[in-house]
Structure 1
Amino acid sequence: MTASAPLPAVRSGRVAWQLAQTLWVGGAWMLHFVLLPALERFGLAPFLVEEIGAFMRPLVASFAAICALLQGIICWSALGSGWWRDTRGQVLGLVLASAAAHLAAGWWFQAEYWAMFSFLLLCFAGLVLVLQPRPDETAR
């Protein structure tokens, strides 16, 4: 193996990071900023669009939490024990906290404003994470 070729584990971590990030960030943005407004513009009843959003947002937030956990593992393996001091680690922690807040606000407390705020926080934390380099690009 040459010195410039990445190890298979590093390459698979790179692919997993990008795939997980693309799926959850793209899914959250697509749901909130494209699909639901398109359904409203298409002429569906507002109550129906609200019901679709109320059904889909917790699913997307749960999927984002699972993907953020995977990305956290990749970040930990690339950066070591100081992963939480890195911007990516902190943003992933924010994603996990906002996903938990969204699920708690929506299911247990029935606080729709907090649920919407936490979902939007999750979306914008994903945008910040997309703007960061992969952990293997700045590792050690």
Structure 2
Amino acid sequence: MSKFVTSKPKSLTAGSISWLLAQTFWVGGLWLLQFVLLPAMSHSGLASMLVSDMSAVLAPLLVGLAACCAFLQLLVLVSAEGLRSMWQDMRGQLLLAVLGLAASYLLADQLWSDPRRWQLFSYLVMALCGLLLVLQPVPVSAKRKPI
């Protein structure tokens, strides 16, 4: 047997699997909408009003999904590594930032008359936080039995 880390099979718990699945949904969804789907719709010759209407409908739904998935990931992180990891671990800080940005994105409609710039800023920073979160290790609890 080789002594390299890549030769060892990973033992994933249910929390680790749900972490990866939730991360795939929200991070992939944010990047896919903003950098693939909307530019492809614009490039294909659809009317700009239709593209902006699709963005206005899909983006808040995706931000809500991102908030739900980030909350699930935060629960997995706290259950795997304790409550202190929410504040002291970079993963917890990124997830808290995503939850705050999602809340500000969704509340901006009620607070301002023209919130488009703030919503775009919040969306892009959430996507960046998601990208940084992808680079972090998956939380694995030593207490639980691997699947």
Q: What TM-score do you get using the length of structure 1 for normalisation?
A: 0.88
Q: Deviations over 1:18-62 (max 9, x none)?
A: 000001100010000000000000001111101100111100000
Name the stretch that deviates more: 101-110 or 67-76: 101-110
Superposed, which structure 2 residues align to 1:69-84 within 5 Å?
69-83=71-85, 84=87
Tell me, in whole angstroms, the C-alpha distance in 2 between the residues paired with 1:107 and 1:59.
16
How far did 1:138 drift?
A: 9.2
Tell me, in whole angstroms, the C-alpha distance in 2 between the residues paired with 1:130 and 1:103.
24
RMSD of the TM alignment (CA)?
2.1
Unaligned runs of 5+ in 1: none
Structure 2 residue identity aligned to 1:22: T
Which residue of the partner structure matches residue 133 of structure 2? 129
Deviant stretches of 4+, over 3 Å: none
CA 1:5–1:127 in structure 2 vs 1: closer, same or farther (change >3 Å)?
closer
Pair 1:86-2:94 in alignment: no
CA 1:5–1:55 in structure 2 vs 1: closer, same or farther (change >3 Å)?
closer
Q: What TM-score do you get using the length of structure 2 for normalisation?
A: 0.84
Higher Rg? 2
Tell me, in whole angstroms, the C-alpha distance in 1 between the residues paired with 2:66 and 2:119.
15
Which residue of the partner structure matches residue 119 of structure 1? 123
Tell me, in whole angstroms, the C-alpha distance in 2 between the residues paired with 1:56 and 1:66.
16
Aligned pairs, number: 133
Greater relative contact order (Cα 8 A, min sep 6): structure 1 or 2? 2
Secondary structure at the counterpart of residue 136 of structure 1: coil
Superposed, which structure 2 residues align to 1:98-117 within 5 Å?
98-109=101-112, 110-117=114-121
Tell me, in whole angstroms, the C-alpha distance in 2 between the residues paired with 1:107 and 1:30.
27
Percent of residue pairs bearing the same amino acid type: 44
